[in-house]
Amino acid sequence: MKTSYFQPDNQGFYGKFGGAYVPEMLYPNVKELQDNYLKIINSDEFQKEFRASLKNYAGRPTPLYFAARLSEKYGTKIFLKREDLAHTGSHKINNAIGQILVAKHLGKKRIIAETGAGQHGVATATVCAQHGLECIVYMGETDMKRQAPNVARMRMLGAEVRAAVSGNKTLKDAVNEAIRDWISNPTDTYYLIGSVVGPHPYPDMVARLQAVISEEIMIQFEEFTGTPNPDCVIACVGGGSNAAGAFYHFADNENVKLIAVEADGHGVDSGETAATTQIGSIGILHGSKTLLMQDQYGQVTEPYSISAGLDYPGIGPVHAHLFETGRVQMLGATDKEALNAAFELAQLEGIIPALESAHALAALKKFDTKNAGTIVVNLSGRGDKDMETYMK
Ligand SMILES: *Cc1c(COP(=O)(O)O)cnc(C)c1O
């Protein structure tokens, strides 16, 4: 029998991607989570708390909006899943709410996270404040300068932001610092990862927590059309959590076409890109085997995208698997194409999307939408944070 695309084996592998490649000293921490995460998130108590928080704190369900003018332009019916309307402005809150509850069920008192653009750091600081838990966010020193407003937000929310000063002083270095912290504080500390990346069980756990997105789409799409299944679902991919959430309940129905959109940056061959599936190869990143951008010596190369949230040198193992099996079609959008798509949505629908989400919208120009049937685009976040870039 064919296994489900989103179901890893008991070692955390999706096909040849995934697993848990961690230093021996980290093994007990990861093992504790592996042994307990399913028990916790499938329990009635967790589900009750999680659902209540999604509803009353995050503002779910987020609407599914029929975009009439956008639809007219592309000659089909296009719906937007409005993750931009969730608390803190993106889908990231779904995962943060879920994992903070997992941490509490494990009896953890101290939360660590790492962040590149700062969006995941803000979501983590938010739920830590809500639950009164200590929060330490590692962030590359370079990123702290580039993303100063998010540093200010995290601090206002009561989190401590610690600068990672090694290497390029970006996300990779922040990950190293977070892992070092976790090794030094194995019993009381929970490492809250922000996407479907990291050692098993993080990719599966985060996908399950974000799966609420496609769960809601099915109910809402059925209200509009009488069937739960659109013909096509589109989402952008940094690490891949919003795409995992948007695809989750559709993946095993081959009638639903799934399109993921990576950030091409200045262009796939420009040396300034984050198009992992186009120029990447298999290797170990962030504790799992996946596709990543690396040089001939296996050193991770610095990714580039105008959008900070897509500026990640790999993709989660489940997306590597979906790509390799051909279940998901990967497209790319350059900085310029994403910017154009953002202005188009703003002026056709009165919605300013996050730059990340604008990459998903840019895909509408890359295939024959008139013959694609109904389309759902996952609008992963709102554009307030990107206004400075848009004005330039
Ligand atoms: C972080 C972020 C992304 C990229 O992360 P994924 O894990 O790939 O979803 C996309 N959109 C927004 C708005 C983000 O904040």
Domain boundaries, the chain: 21-54+92-206, 60-90+211-391
pLDDT for 2? 57
Give me the percent of the chain exceeding a pLDDT of 90. 94
What's the CA-to-centroid distance between 25 and ligand 1, angstroms?
A: 30
pLDDT for 168? 84
Residue-wise pLDDT tens digits, 191-228? 999 999 999 999 999 999 999 999 999 999 999 999 99
Active-site hit among 53, 108, 114, 289? 114
Residue-wise pLDDT tens digits, 146-203? 889 999 999 999 999 999 998 888 888 899 999 999 999 999 999 999 999 999 999 9
Token readout for 148 is 């100063």
CATH number of 60-90+211-391: 3.40.50.1100
Equal CATH topology for 21-54+92-206 and 60-90+211-391: yes
Least confident of 47-61, 73-87, 298-312: 298-312
d(CA 322, CA 143) in angstroms, rounded, equals: 30
Task: Tell me if residue 93 falls in helix, strand or coil.
Answer: helix
Say whether 92 is catalytic.
yes
How big is the chain by its Cα radius of gyration, in Å?
A: 19
Task: Tell me what the mean pLDDT of segment 357-386 comes to.
Answer: 97
Say whether 48 is catalytic.
no
- Counting ligand 1 atoms within 8 A of each CB, the residue from 62, 92, 94, 262 with the most, and so the one to mutate, is 92
Q: Within 10 A of 73 (CB to CB), how many other CB atoms are there?
A: 14
pLDDT of 1 > 60? The answer is no
pLDDT for 80? 99
Question: Which residues, at least 6 apart from 361, have a Cβ–Cβ distance to it below 8 Å?
Answer: 338, 341, 342, 344, 345, 353, 377, 379
Question: Do residues 196 and 240 lie in contact, with contact meaning Cβ atoms separated by under 8 Å?
Answer: yes
CATH number of 21-54+92-206: 3.40.50.1100
Going by the DSSP 8-state scheme, the letter that residue 90 receives in this structure is B
d(CA 225, CA 258) in angstroms, rounded, equals: 19
pLDDT for 29? 96
Average model confidence (pLDDT) across the chain: 96
Q: Which atom of ligand 1 is nearest to the CA of 210?
A: 9
What's the CA-to-centroid distance between 1 and ligand 1, angstroms?
A: 33
Using CA atoms in the order 57, 380, 126, 207, what is the torsion angle rounded to 10 degrees? 90
pLDDT for 66? 98
